[in-house]
Chain A
Amino acid sequence: MSLIHKTAAELGRLVAAREVSAVEVAQAHLDRVAEVDKQINAFLHVDVEGTLAQARRVDERLAAGEALGPLAGVPIAHKDVFATRDMPTTAGSKILENWRPPYDATVTRRLREAGLVILGKTNLDEFAMGSSTENSAYGPTHNPWDLTRIPGGSSGGSSAAVSAYEAPLSTGTDTGGSIRQPAAVTGIVGMKPTYGGSSRYGLIAFASSLDTPGPFARNVLDAALLHEAFSGHDPLDSTSIDQAVPPVVDAARQADVAGMRIGVVKEFGGEGYQPGVLARFHEAVELLESLGAKVVEVSCAAFEYALPAYYLIAPSECSSNLARFDAMRYGLRVGDDGTRSAEEVMALTRAAGFGPEVKRRIMLGTYALSSGYYDAYYGQAQKVRTLIMRDFEAAFHQVDVLVSPTTPTTAFPIGERADDPMAMYLADLCTIPSNLAGNAAISVPCGLADEDGLPVGLQIMAPVLGDDRCYRVGAAVEKAFESRWGGPLLAKAPAI
């Protein structure tokens, strides 16, 4: 099996055992990127020299007898919303074109410390706002399963890179589903950790109270290894949780659901869901039962209001977070010809530098926070958020995890929803509640939809700091399905 088809765990083991060099592994992935990324457009920036230098450094350290982590020498694709001091960081926006941060995000720093080799930066919806990666200022990313379709979003570059074997691992951020939905529609694993479990320092903010960095991988164990590598308390992020990272790697190895109580969210299903998605989901639920889990239906009535609440809270926070892009200190500057005032230059820069979806959300958020409307919109949305938390709390009294389809449909064609924001927003219907409540949730592959042969994801939701449960159940499902399918789902993807 070629290096690019191996798991991250296996690559890490081979490099650590010095059976293969980190440079060889890096070169194999750089070759793959060079070969396929013109079709995929997963990467905004590939750092060939830097990648090889990082890999050499890992080899040197290993040669010097240093003990590195299990992922040392494993290549990774890094979402271009994390600050990297040696690579541009654009957040998919023209307003930050060519911006090079003078500092590393905490996640970036921890990847480096773990010896992961950062291949480059991946495409995303501008400022992580979207579900298709079509909102990138640098062109859409294509789904490796069908190049005419979207790879999900906002972390679509990261999901596509892993799905297309350009990297065994990638980072993402999940604000309303931006890891889980892309993972689902590209047939890979994507995990949103508990809010505060992974540091936001150096992650360019979209919605501060929701943004959560998390891993993508082609299998559950790899995702857990990456999760463990970059998570944990960070004094630079006040909202980061000062507790040990849940035992995610052990849980992924445990892969056993016997005796677990699993709740099916009653509200997710029915109208608006693709039949093939529901069919695969029900199969997954039956599979869990067959593995010894006790399955019950659970009602979470407030989930119905999650989407509208999200589309008040997230834009409100983004309208404030994105105010700093004003042409004064960094990034794009338009119209500064010596005659215009600072305010005019700010306005011209923001008009030219932000795309339509970003502007739409800034407008929505500005309105929702306005005096006289705050209580009716932002205030009300926060109340809904509290109700959703209570629903989760009540549910987790009855069951250990909740399950649902990750997203109501498979990957849709590029352009299909571009002019229909409401249709686009529905892609995150099932994922948003976990962002509003801050709990952990994962998406794992559960088969292909009959009508289009495209991947379907199973979402497994666990309580706050119950991240290990996601991996435990996810790994059990993966193991059972892979033995049924005779290998990973991704093996069924057409070759590129």
Chain B
Amino acid sequence: MTLMPYDEALERFEPVLGLETHVELGTASKMFCGCSTTFGAPPNTHVCPVCLALPGSLPVANEKAIESTIRIGLALNCTIATWCRFARKNYFYPDMPKNYQISQYDEPLCTDGYLDVEVDGATVRIGIERVHLEEDTGKSTHVGGATGRIHGADYSIVDYNRAGIPLVEIVTKPIPGTDRMAPEIAKAYVTELREVMRSLGVSDVRMEQGSLRCDVNVSLMPRGSSEWGTRTETKNVNSLRSVERAVRGEIERQAAVLASGGRIIQETRHFHEDTGLTTSGRSKEEAQDYRYFPEPDLLPMAPDPEWVASLKAALPELPTVRRRRLQQEWGVSDLDMAAMHNADAIDLVEATVAAGAPAADARKWWMGELARRANESGAALADLPITPAQVAKVTELVASGALNDKLARQVLEGVLAGEGGPEEVVEKRGLRIVNDEGELAALIDQVLAANADAADKVRSGKIAAVGALVGGVMKASRGKADAGRARELILERLGVQE
């Protein structure tokens, strides 16, 4: 596959993006039956006549899922339909028990909204075309063959535990004008959407488990043109980083095709995590005819406007609003706030502040030492074995003078190593600062005796040389001495005044 370098591609073409996101709702039961939605159960144990589509079975809509969808629509500033229906989307596939999916077609629950996302300190408004409710399919596993896909497989097995789990589809309007920021904007959108879902508590939005899935649409048009090009739809984009890579890769690929006089085929493409490239999937040139029609087994939905208004009033603070509030409360710069956001540190810092730490200190530890540790071990910040309360305790010990930064780092290390809470680690490791004047004086005597040259320099007025002596005291105390107090005492002993 030929790619055009990204910079060159952007010089010649302008991308138009579109994102379709599927979110599995975290309801206790499936969309149209009472089966559990718990992830990871043995295959085909969360099934019943309804989600297996046994003859004669009928769906009953999950009201909680309808409510969640409306809340999502409200959080995305959508208009909520006063009357709408489910529709059947007909196509044959072995992991779809009824061979039709109960979805929504021309009457979605929520339409015409937007989501503001921040990229490099600037706000970009992404238009939302629609939010609708449908059911998930079963999960096929294709065994044998090289690709793990149905073509070339020796056989396939199907797990229907996932069949019928409520699925919300969120479709953006076309997003032109992103220019070279297209990959970052795509990633920022999915990140923001994920946070909105989390704040609403409607889904665990775990991309690696498939509870948040994203299809990326990309088309290119030559610079100066206003006519959008043919788009491709890339599936199997399973992480935030992949969203960014898939957009970039597809821009590079399409640019190369167009520049060599080729044409883009409207098709589904498959993203490969290992190479960051996409390969051709199903062609959509001859559009599949899904023969949509209103689902006759279910009544129309007519959400009571008063109920919708009460759901709207009860929406939690949404992530952007919250970030703006916290930024103001904490008094941090846009850049620092963005860094915390990217590091998924905001919740942690907030909790640490709530536990009594000053915002600057909470940020310093989470974004400094702890971020470094997380990075080293490849863990997410939130998954480190330390609580915000423990971090707050460490900042408290530093503020009280019981610890200095160096010792505090050792305390954190101890907590992360499972040695107990901060105070326990201080105790076990004997990390309390030496500010006993007698002990300190003895250390200073030792150091002055061993460093007569430096002492003379200080006496002769080269006060800068005191640094080496303080360093000596710190070393001798294995970092536990109060460096400021040591400095004062040394100067006093040498009869020097600053």
Contacts and interface: CB of A to CB of B under 8 A. Distances in A.
Mutual binders A and B: yes
Interface of A: 82-83, 89, 91, 96, 99, 101-103, 105, 200-205, 207-209, 235-239, 316-317, 319-320, 323-326, 328-330, 342-343, 346, 366, 369-371, 374, 378
A374 B294 CA distance: 12
Contact of B55 (A83, A316, A317): A83
Contacts of B293: 316-317, 320, 369, 374, 378
Contacts of B88: 320
B60 A236 contact: yes
A238 B291 contact: no
B55 A208 contact: no
Contact of A208 (B289, B291, B292, B297): B297
A324 B92 CA distance: 9
12 contacts: A83-B56, A91-B55, A96-B55, A101-B54, A101-B56, A103-B57, A200-B58, A207-B296, A239-B299, A317-B293, A329-B52, A369-B291
Nearest to B88: A320
Q: Closest 3 CB pairs between A and B?
A: A323-B99, A369-B291, A208-B296
Contacts of B158: 328
B471 interface: no
Given A328-B94, A378-B293, A323 B58 contact: no
B150 to A, nearest CB: 8
B56 A205 contact: yes
A320 B55 contact: no
B92 A202 contact: no
B90 interface: yes
A235 B60 contact: yes
B105 to A, nearest CB: 11
B50 to A, nearest CB: 9
The B interface, classified by DSSP as helix, strand, loop or mixed, is loop
A172 B24 CA distance: 40
Contacts of A369: 90, 291-293
B59 A238 contact: yes
Contacts of B53: 324, 329
A342 B93 CA distance: 9
A235 B60 CA distance: 8
B61 interface: yes
A329 B289 CA distance: 25
A320 B57 CA distance: 14
Nearest to B299: A238
A202 B57 contact: yes
Contact of A89 (B55, B57, B292, B297): B55
Nearest to A341: B150
Question: For chain B, which range describes its interface: under 10, 10 to 19, 20 to 34, or 35 or more residues?
Answer: 20 to 34
B340 interface: no
B90 to A, nearest CB: 5
B49 A320 contact: no
A326 B56 CA distance: 15
B56 A201 contact: yes
Nearest to B89: A320
Interface in B37-83: 49, 52-61
A101 B55 contact: yes
B330 interface: no
Contact of B291 (A89, A235, A346, A370): A370
Contact of A323 (B49, B94, B100, B289): B100
Contacts of B279: none
B164 to A, nearest CB: 13
A371 B291 CA distance: 6
Contacts of B59: 238
B56 A204 contact: yes
A238 B55 contact: no
A160 B214 CA distance: 57
A316 B296 CA distance: 11
Interface in B14-35: none
A374 B289 CA distance: 11
Given A101-B55, A329-B52, A320 B298 contact: no
A238 B50 CA distance: 13
Contacts of A328: 94, 97, 158
A204 B55 contact: yes
Given A324-B53, A326-B99, A238 B156 contact: no
B98 interface: yes
Contacts of A83: 54-56
A238 B58 contact: yes
A99 B55 contact: yes
Nearest to B55: A204
Contact of B98 (A102, A239, A323, A342): A323
Given A101-B55, A328-B158, A342-B156, A238 B60 contact: yes
